[in-house]
Amino acid sequence: MNLLYNVASMAGMRTGIGRYSAELANRARLCPEIATVAAFNQGIPTTLPKAESPGDSPVNRLRGRLARWTPAVIGTHYLARAAAHVALRRFRRFIYHETNYVAFPHRGPLVLSVHDLSYLRFPQFHPPARVQFLERFFPDSLRRADLVITDAEFIRQELIDEFSMDSRRVRAVPLGVDRPAEEATFNGDANTILCVGSMDPRKNLAGFFRAYETLPRELRASFPIRHVGPPGWPDEQLTEAVSRLTQQGHLQCLGFVSDEALDKLYRSAALFVFPSFYEGFGLPMLEAMIRRVPVIAAESSSIPEVLGNGALTFPPGDEEALRHLLERALTEPGLRRQEADRGYRQAVKFNWETTFSETLALYKELSF
């Protein structure tokens, strides 16, 4: 069996899709059942990246700006497709797994990963360039795919319903979570609230910040917020809330951090908050839970499927309910310990080896 991966999402600092892609590709490289693992980026053959590259570089900043300009996004993709049409011909007997929504031309078997349908469900929460790009290219990728993989059953059913797909072509394969090198224990002295993910409007950080601002002053002073992740795209309400909380000393936006630094941030967190309106999976929740950090999350989309009964949850967008949970959790150490233990028991059900083995079984269905 021979595999081909698009490694674009693995370049730079990796978000959830980049991590997923790297976990699959690196395990495939070590799998004795796979003869060759090939890779390409922007239509050009390359090698699998061995590690993340710096996220804050002139090239990556330029990419971020261009990603909001529709002609640049679509024009760049057409150029990459033209390059792929020629350069990837020699991989026609490879199974091509596109892990990021839009597949390049390929004459062999195609596996497509679809992580969510937020561009359809919440187009107002995306830059117009991203929505237009997916509207133009994503449906064609779905039609060409022999098998489609989602991270959760919720998204699988959405795909089947939205695109009238044959349910046999769409499979749900849950993501995994890395066990920390040092076994985590509940940290009763932790004194921060952690959020991990982009600052996109879909993540509802503005709603969380408003709920937080209504907490008693002494609680806010005792439990400041740390945010890890890219800035996302401009949103007036979120920008204003970030400015207020930063000036008050209650919020620190750290951007991308190394895996080692992120591990320390999780371990020093009294609480992890995930208030998103819509998620395809929610990997940061598991990263917190596996470190025995109690989680508060919105009951939206795929989130309950991942959490089980391992977290405190609230109706999406209900800021009063979120405020109530925040105050309870921050003033009741016993509740935090209880939720940390429940979350850990749920998180250990997920691992990357299972994700890869289930994906490998799907590759075998298409192998020559």
Please tell me the predicted confidence (pLDDT) of residue 247: 95
Contact 265, 194 (CB under 8 A): yes
Contacts (Cβ under 8 Å, ≥6 apart) of 234: none
Per-residue pLDDT band at 9 (split at 50, 70, 90): confident
Angle at which helices 333-347 and 319-331 pack, to 10 degrees? 110
Give the chain's domains with CATH numbers: 2-175+351-366 (3.40.50.2000), 192-347 (3.40.50.2000)
Mean pLDDT of 248-264: 94
Contacts (Cβ under 8 Å, ≥6 apart) of 259: none
Task: Tell me the per-residue pLDDT of 270-313, one tens digit each, with 9 for 90 and over.
Answer: 999 999 999 999 999 999 999 999 999 999 999 999 999 999 99
Mean pLDDT of 200-205: 93
Would the pLDDT of 183 be above 70?
Answer: yes
Please tell me the predicted confidence (pLDDT) of residue 60: 47
Judged by DSSP in three states, 31 sits in coil
Taking the C-alpha atoms of residue 262 and residue 264, their distance in angstroms, rounded to an integer, is: 5
Task: Tell me the per-residue pLDDT of 106-144, one tens digit each, with 9 for 90 and over.
Answer: 999 999 999 999 999 999 988 888 899 999 999 999 999
Please tell me the predicted confidence (pLDDT) of residue 62: 42
Reported pTM: 0.91
Task: Tell me the per-residue pLDDT of 218-241, one tens digit each, with 9 for 90 and over.
Answer: 999 999 999 999 887 768 889 999
Cα angle 147, 152, 157 (rounded to 5 degrees) comes to 70
Q: Would you list the DSSP string of 97-114?
A: EE-SS-PPP-SS-EEEEE
Give percent above pLDDT 90 in the chain.
74
Helices (H) and strands (E) in the chain, counts: 15, 13
Taking the C-alpha atoms of residue 190 and residue 181, their distance in angstroms, rounded to an integer, is: 20
Per-residue pLDDT band at 12 (split at 50, 70, 90): low
